[in-house]
Every structure is written in C-alpha cells, then in structure tokens.
Structure 1
Amino acid sequence: MPQQNAQEGQADDLLTVFEGSSAEDGSHARQLWKSMTLLPPLESRLASADIRQRLPVARPRRRGTSNVANPVPLTVCSERQREDERRRYQAMADQRKEVMALLGRQRQQRIQKEHLSAAVKPKKEVVEPPDPEIELDKELML
C-alpha cells in the first residue's frame, strides 16, 4: 500500500511540472490545481449530503400501564367527529336557505315597486334620428 501511494505521488510530480520556480511555489501550485477539480454533478452521485439516505429509526415502545385510565375507542371518537361535522354542515345549509329566501323576498319587493312606479312614470317618447337626405332636401328647397 505505501508503494502504491509513493507511485501515485511520483506520477503527480511527473505530470505537474513547474520549471523555473521554487519547490515551495510548485507545491502551492500543485495544491491549487488539485483543489480546482470539479465534483461530479449531483445526479451522478450515489449519496448526497443534502438528501437523507436513511429512514428514521423507530423508537421502542414502552410496555406498561398507560396514562389514560379508560381509553375511548377510535371508532367512537370518529363517530363523534362525523356527527359534529354533519351538524356544522346542516347549520351552514340552513343559513344558506335563509339567505336565499331573504334575497328572493327582496327581489319580489323590488319587482312590485317597479310595477307600481311604472304606472306613474312618464312615457318616454321615441325620437328617431333625422334622416340626412330629408334634411338635405329641406335645405335645397329654401
């Protein structure tokens, strides 16, 4: 194993050449070039740091007495919730019917008032726009 690391280090030294610079500058430049390698795209990685790879571990259940002396079965609770929802929806439906009835009564009152006022309102005369040819004939006759 140490021989393999030594061979890789020698290969890196052979591939990266900095002529005319000090050994310290060469090592800094090598480190810079090694740090500039791009990481593969996130899609090609098998594991990602920002994605949880494991499911949460379930905690063991405690065996013993529960704090609730007489637990109510879930079916009774769900039935109570359904009944509450039915009552609430029924109340909303009743309120909607009342509003619709009120709107209907107001509409009928408006229609009755319009019928009463229609007899008193003056009739609008229908005025036809003057025909330009008749106007031209009148001007020519004068």
Structure 2
Amino acid sequence: MKNKTILIKGLHEILSATFAGAEQHLAHATINEYNGFPKLAQRMRSEFENEISDSKILMNRILNLGGIPNTEHKSLPIHLDVTKQLEQEFAEQVIALNRLQELIILSENDCATRMVFEDFLKDETLHTNWLRQQVSLINNVGVANYLTTQM
C-alpha cells in the first residue's frame, strides 16, 4: 500500500510538470509565432499537444491506482528571447529525466506504472536531445543565423 501511495505521488509530480510544460510550450509557441518564427512555433505547439496527451495518460494511471488526479502546478518561466527559452527548457528536461529514472526504479513492482514512466523517459530523452542540439546550434552559428532557419 505504501508503494502505491509513492507511485501516485510520483505520477502527480510528473502530471504537474506536464501541465507546467504545456503552459510554457504554448506561451513560447505564441511568442515565436508573433515574432515571425513559425517553424520554431510549430515545434513548440507540437510539444504542447504532446504534453496534453501525456497528461491524459498520467491521469488515467492515477485513477487506475485509486487516486484522484490533481492538476495543480507551478508556472514555469516564460521568455521572449529564444535562446533563454531553449536553455530554460533544456535545464528543466535534464531534471525531468533524472526524476523519471528514479520513478522507474520505484515502480519495479508495478509494471503498468513503470511502462508509463519508461515511455515518458523515451519521449523526454528525444526532446532533450533536440533542445541540446538547438542550444548547440545557437552557440555555434549565433542566434541570428539560427533564427533565419526558423522563419
């Protein structure tokens, strides 16, 4: 019973981060669209949609374990500057990857919850790698050159 409570708490933690990330992605997508960077805006809008889809999976798992989904979350920083947007998201992703790895270990006796966390880890790893690449591109070619590829 204690492990179930720990898993529900972990699922709520990821659910909270997912809602916060969705909110941040939507804001950054809107900012980038407004500033004339539709490619970057579309990528962030896609991330927003993924986060919303992920939240449904998390809520269903919480319900399956007998919990009640809680959608409270802290807001994440919103930046007008693209470099800051990407660096902030990258830093958040690194934290999320570490936490997901911890939660996978904690869910060793619950295959269904472990699979949810493992699937999220795969998706978040891909997003983290993309963010790392974007930050690297900005550092290597400069933000102005990077942004010309996002028009």
- Which structure shows the higher helix fraction? 2
Query: TM-score higher than 0.5 here?
Result: no
Normalising TM by the smaller chain, what interval?
A: under 0.3
Using the size of structure 2 for normalisation, the TM-score is 0.22
